[in-house]
Structures are given as C-alpha cells and as structure tokens.
Amino acid sequence: MEFVPDNQLTFSNNQLKRWRILEIAKKEAIIDHLIEEVEKPNEEIKKSIIENWLRKEGIKSNESLKKWQNFNGLNQIEWEEYLIREWSWERWCVLKFKSFVPSYYLKRKDFLDKVSYSIIRVKTKHLANELFIRIKEKEARFSDLASKYSEGEEKRVGGFIGPVPMSTPHPALARLLQVSQPGQLWSPKIINSWWVVVRLEKLHNTELNERVSIKLSLELGEKHIFDLLNSSKNSGLTELTKN
C-alpha cells in the first residue's frame, strides 16, 4: 500500500462527517478566522510563550521536546506556530470578553470554589443519629467512625473529601456546605437515599485573579464558538466567517 505524504492529504466534508470530526474542523476554522485580528507576538513574548509551555508540559531537554514533536507530527516551525496559535486564541478571548468576565465569574463562582468536608453515609437513620451524637459529644473521632461505619467510598479515607469543586457533591449536599461554617457538624440528613452526617472542614474561595480570568475568558470563547457553529448550520461556515 502506498501512503500519500501528509502535505498532499485532502479530506471531503462527507469523510469528516463519517469520522465525526467535521464539527471539530469547523471549530478550528472559526478560531483561525477570529485570531487573524490578533497582533503577532514579538520575539520577547514569543520566548516567554515557549518557556511557559515547556514548563507546563514538564519538558526539560531538547531530546524530550523532539520526542513530543515527533509524536505529534510537528517540525520545529510547525510546533512554534502551534504555540503561537494557542497564545493568540487565549489573547483574543481575554480581549473580547474582559468586560464580561466579572459577571460571569459571579455566575460561575459556586462551581469555581472548592470545598473540603467529612462525611459518613449509612442506610439507617438510627445508626446515623448514634454516630452524630458520638461525634458531637466527642466520644469518638469523625475519621474513626467513618472508617468503621460509612458505606460509601469515603470509608477508605476516614470520611474526608477534598478539596473538590463545589459542583462535585450532590446538589443537596453542596447547598448544605455552602451555608456552613468551618467545623460545623450537621445532624443526619437524608440525601439520595443515604442518611448522611457531614461536617464542613474548609471552604476554598476562588478569587478573580489573572489565572481565573483567563480560564473564564476561554470558557466564554468556547461558548461563542458553539453559538457560531449553531448559526453556521443555517447560514453556512463561509458566510459566518465573513462577519
């Protein structure tokens, strides 16, 4: 079998549909169009982009970098273009959505914040009440009772969970934790067919710093592309990218 060189490969829309990657290709085409308006980085910024990427990927030698490039089918020039494209998309999102980020942050804060808590889950109210009283009266440590009696996965770690995003716990449990004070122990509640004894250990508030602002800007960028893709189903991608 003869193989066609990569630079000579072409694919039809029907092929991309069959392979279920047409939407991905459309998304990348939209990004290419949007970042055309982003000014190219100068040499100093380019150097910083490369250094940050190498540090993030844990690549510390030219040999390791070469292995990464070979695995991903990129030569040195293509690799640098890939990094600059990522940077340009991030830059576009930050500039485009900077005025929307504060309100979006407030909307997403419950999902950005993290929480650490201790929990015991059992099947009967009687046992839950008994364990609650023993913890409240300091007759036993929460972790010891969780390891002995809890019937969930938390049994293996002494009932301690976290820090995890506030969106991770069951919604009813998350609402309870959101109105708790650190160290507050709740009497047994029934949540999702379990009798639960829970204590808030710590709320980890997420501040709107530069890192979080970039993350939220990229989320808004993804939403923007999703909306554009939905529009393109009616108008077509060619018409869409003219706007």
- Side chain identity at residue 170, one-letter code: H
Are 3 and 47 spatial neighbours (Cβ–Cβ below 8 Å)? Answer: no
**Which tokens belong to 108?**
């997403």
52-57: list long-range contacts, CB under 8 Å, 24+ apart.
53/83, 53/86
Q: What's the confidence (pLDDT) of residue 9?
A: 74
Q: Per mean pLDDT, which range of 104-113, 136-145, 208-217, 226-235 is the poorest? A: 226-235
Q: Tell me the backbone φ, ψ of residue 202, rounded to 5 degrees.
A: -165, 140
Q: Where are the alpha helices (DSSP H) in the chain?
A: 13-18, 22-34, 43-57, 62-71, 76-97, 101-112, 125-136, 142-149, 171-178, 210-235, 237-240
pLDDT at residue 239 greater than cutoff 80: no
Confidence of residue 5 (pLDDT cuts 50, 70, 90): low
Q: What's the confidence (pLDDT) of residue 161?
A: 97
- In tens, the pLDDT along 174-183 reads 999 999 999 9
**Mean of per-residue pLDDT scores for the chain:** 92
Are 124 and 196 spatial neighbours (Cβ–Cβ below 8 Å)? Answer: no
Q: Per mean pLDDT, which range of 47-51, 67-71, 172-176, 239-243 is the poorest? A: 239-243
Greater confidence, 157 or 16? 157
Longest dimension (CA), the chain: 77
Residue 150, class by beta-carbon neighbours within 10 Å (0-12 exposed, 13-18 middle, 19+ buried)? buried
Q: What's the confidence (pLDDT) of residue 225?
A: 95
Q: What's the confidence (pLDDT) of residue 3?
A: 62
Q: What's the confidence (pLDDT) of residue 7?
A: 67
Residue percentage of the chain with pLDDT more than 70? 92
In order of start, what are the domains of the chain with their CATH numbers? 13-105+210-240 (no CATH), 114-204 (3.10.50.40)
